[in-house]
Amino acid sequence: MVNFPTSQPSLKNDFDNQDNVGSADQNDSANEVNAIAAKVGIDGSAVTTSHDYKLSGVTGSDKAVSKTGTETLTNKTLTSPVLNAFTGTGGTITVPDNNNTVGLTVTQNDVTNNPNAITVTNAGAGNGIYINQTGVLASTAALYVYSNAAQTSAVLSQFTMDNASSNQTVIGIHNDGTGRGLYIDQNGNGVALKIDNAGTNFGIYLNQTGALANGDYGVLAHSETAQTTNARFVQIKLGHASSTCDCVGIQNDGTGNCLFIDQNGDAYAINIDSEATTKPSINIASAINNDGAPFSIKDAVGANAYFQIGRNDNVTDKIVLRLGRYYFWVDATGDFRLSSGNPPNDTSGTVVGTQS
């Protein structure tokens, strides 16, 4: 009877001082040896249960891989591997051309403990995650985060810099091409971009270092949709009643218009609703030169369609009012005067009516 390989061979080994050795004993020994040989296998064995077949991939000075030891594997193909823990010195996952397979798929099915699907801890000074997109993308993205679940309590993507001493940018976008640096396609009825700035520096800062092309803008808010609700296309609100700073400030060091309004529709170009009780709705403080006008309204219908408040150092109060072709001012005696041209002195023109 053959015991190997299901159990250890049971061979008779007490042949000393015996004249007769039975054929059954010899047959048992031969059968056990044959069974061992079959289990070990000949060189190049095709028997899938033999050791030679199972170890055929171990060549030269290589050793078989142990379960708990530390070995280096090279050019190995693992089908549906399960990694409970991974420790290594770096490596590469290569997908052959035309293989049409995903390089790495991580499926996290633990919905009880909800651990991270991927955790990258980078103690070095290099990139934590680096994507080098050498292929030309079709309709996909080099980095794509997708969810079809109703997210009601968390953000889909989060970047957190938790060290208060850090002074570097949290998210940097560098674009040398002509496409958009950042594009937001907001299709749901939510806020496309919200900035919660609890710091004391700029909430939004635009540094336009390039010279704008003709007709372009540093900031453009654009809509081709008929806005018919009681809403405003752009709203700037300072909602704290104790605030004392300016709500909007415009500084122009150049010679172009500081504020240009091109009102093409049949509505007010400027509409001021002021609830102030002690301050004027409009206050103009101008250092304009002589013969200039800190306030001027001109209609395009004609060259003399003017309403203008100007400076004239030739009159006592240095202020003249222009209505069309005529100038009005108050002279040193308190008389109200009229002239068809900008007055050359305080008493030029004509006194208007009888004054007392």
Mean pLDDT of 112-126: 93
| Secondary structure percentages of the chain, helix, strand, coil, to 5 | 5, 5, 85
Q: What's the DSSP call for residue 211?
A: P
| pLDDT at residue 294 in the model | 86
| pLDDT at residue 114 in the model | 93
Mean pLDDT of the chain: 87
| pLDDT at residue 4 in the model | 58
Show the DSSP H helices in the chain as ranges. Answer: 23-40, 51-54
More confident residue, 38 or 343: 343
pTM of the model: 0.69
| Confidence grade of residue 321 (pLDDT, cut at 50, 70, 90) | very high
**Does residue 1 register a pLDDT over 60?**
no
| pLDDT at residue 9 in the model | 62
Mean pLDDT of 54-78: 81
| Confidence grade of residue 99 (pLDDT, cut at 50, 70, 90) | confident
**Does residue 75 register a pLDDT over 80?**
no
pLDDT tens for 4-37 read: 566 656 655 555 565 565 666 667 777 778 888 8
Flag the least confident range among 180-194, 238-252, 301-315: 301-315
Rounded Cα distance, 333 and 347, in Å: 9
Mean pLDDT of 237-261: 95
With a CB cutoff of 8 Å and minimum separation 6, the contacts of 295 are 284, 308, 309
Range with top average pLDDT, 67-71, 98-102, 288-292: 288-292
Compute the Cα dihedral for 61, 66, 69, 75 and give only its sign: positive
Which of 301, 322, 302, 304 shows the shortest CA–CA distance to 312?
Answer: 322
Instruction: Work out the burial of residue 343: count CB atoms within 10 Å of its CB; fewer than 13 is exposed, 13-18 middle, 19 or more buried.
Output: buried
Q: How many CB atoms lie within 10 A of CB 320?
A: 22
Mean pLDDT of 28-55: 85
Collapsed DSSP state (helix, strand, coil) of residue 245: coil
With a CB cutoff of 8 Å and minimum separation 6, the contacts of 237 are 247
| pLDDT at residue 5 in the model | 66
| pLDDT at residue 104 in the model | 80
Return the exposure string of 284-317: e unless at least 16 CB atoms fall within 10 Å of the residue's CB, then b: eeeeeeeeebeeeeeeeeeeeebebebbbeebee
Q: What's the DSSP call for residue 64?
A: P
| Confidence grade of residue 302 (pLDDT, cut at 50, 70, 90) | low
More confident residue, 222 or 95: 222
| pLDDT at residue 197 in the model | 96
Rounded Cα distance, 319 and 291, in Å: 10
pLDDT tens for 250-278 read: 999 999 999 999 999 999 999 999 999 99
Rounded Cα distance, 218 and 240, in Å: 29
Flag the least confident range among 107-121, 191-205, 300-314: 300-314
Domain boundaries, given as residue ranges, for the chain: 1-55, 291-356
Flag the least confident range among 70-84, 266-280, 285-299: 70-84
- Residue 45 contacts residue 53 (beta carbons within 8 Å): yes
Q: From residue 328, how far is each of 54, 293, 318, 334 by CA, in Å?
A: 111, 14, 11, 12
